[in-house]
């Protein structure tokens, strides 16, 4: 989910809306302690954020009767991972086989940008988090998991490094792995293609692939990777109402 880009470009946000929201933020911060959690969440949640939550809620429901783990490629601060853990807690709290695995460098883009992506203005370390952020995120997600049953079983994993190589190592070490849902949000051509090729043999009829930037002019590498690895004409790609570029496909 991106509103303002790390590069300083903000092609999706309207500055006047940002300014208005900021002044509301200040007022909200004054009464924040008086609000209950639901009030806090709803008052500060934008339409776009709500659309995103509904998008993943709908997709999650489609894997409920299927085996396999969930993998997210491109975690950044982990909001989607946290959401997925909450959804698992709601819909299938006893399904401890539904492991959720997040892959990220946690230092942003690596050396694998194409010339074209560089021309678009992307550079190494765009979307980087903070030093050791993955350790903080691990603690945060553990707290989230503690909010559900079977909290003594850790059901998520963060894998730090270039997903082009770490996913291969993960699958070699965890040979039992089937994938019910794979989420692509690395934005770049090379790792998206590499990971798609690597996980293909772990997908089955019914597995769901989720793409965050399909048809996106600023991240065309994601579409190219999809075109080069899957037979597009055979894919029933869908998008969700309120989501501009995010799409998903149930493999059949």
**Residues at the contact surface with ligand SAM, assessed by CB under 6 A:** 1-2, 74-77, 79-80, 103-105, 108-110, 112, 127, 162-164, 185-188, 191
Q: How far is the CB of 30 from ligand SAM (least distance, A)?
A: 28
Question: Minimum CB separation from ligand SAM for residue 216, in Å?
Answer: 11
CB of 225 to ligand SAM, least distance (A): 12
CA distance 4 to 12: 7
Euclidean distance between CA atoms 98 and 178, whole angstroms: 10
Interatomic CA distance for residues 79 and 69, integer angstroms:
18
3-state secondary structure of 54: helix
User: Shortest Cβ contact with ligand SAM: which residue?
Assistant: 74
Task: Point out which residues pair with 242 in neighbouring strands.
Answer: none
Buried residues in 12-21 as b, exposed as e (16+ CB within 10 A):
eeeeeeeeee
Q: Closer to ligand SAM by CB, 87 or 163: give it.
A: 163
Decide whether 63 or 246 has the Cβ nearer to ligand SAM: 246
Q: Would you say 19 or 131 has its CB closer to ligand SAM?
A: 131
What's the CA gap between 215 and 109, in Å, rounded?
A: 20
In angstroms, what is the minimal distance from the CB of 54 to ligand SAM? 15
Nearer to ligand SAM, 8 or 233 (CB): 8
């Amino acid at each position: 989910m991106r509103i303002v880009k790390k590069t300083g470009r903000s092609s999706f946000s309207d500055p006047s809306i940002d300014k208005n929201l900021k002044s509301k933020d200040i007022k909200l911060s004054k009464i924040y302690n008086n609000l209950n959690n639901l009030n806090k969440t709803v008052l500060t949640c934008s339409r776009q954020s709500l659309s995103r939550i509904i998008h993943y809620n709908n997709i999650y429901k489609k894997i409920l009767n299927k085996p396999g783990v969930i993998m997210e490629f491109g975690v950044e601060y982990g909001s989607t991972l946290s959401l997925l853990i909450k959804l698992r807690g709601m819909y299938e709290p006893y399904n401890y086989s539904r492991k959720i695995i997040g892959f990220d460098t946690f230092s942003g883009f690596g050396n694998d940008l194409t010339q074209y992506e560089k021309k678009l203005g992307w550079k190494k370390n765009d979307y980087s988090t903070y030093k050791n952020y993955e350790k903080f995120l691990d603690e945060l997600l553990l707290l989230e998991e503690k909010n559900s049953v079977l909290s003594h079983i850790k059901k998520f994993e963060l894998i730090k490094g270039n997903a082009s190589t770490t996913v291969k190592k993960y699958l070699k070490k965890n040979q039992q792995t089937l994938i019910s849902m794979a989420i692509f949000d690395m934005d770049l051509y090379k790792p998206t293609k590499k990971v798609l090729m690597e996980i293909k043999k772990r997908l089955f009829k019914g597995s769901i692939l989720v793409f965050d930037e399909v048809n996106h002019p600023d991240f065309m590498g994601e579409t190219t990777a999809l075109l080069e690895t899957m037979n597009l004409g055979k894919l029933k790609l869908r998008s969700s109402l309120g989501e501009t570029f995010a799409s998903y496909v149930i493999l059949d």
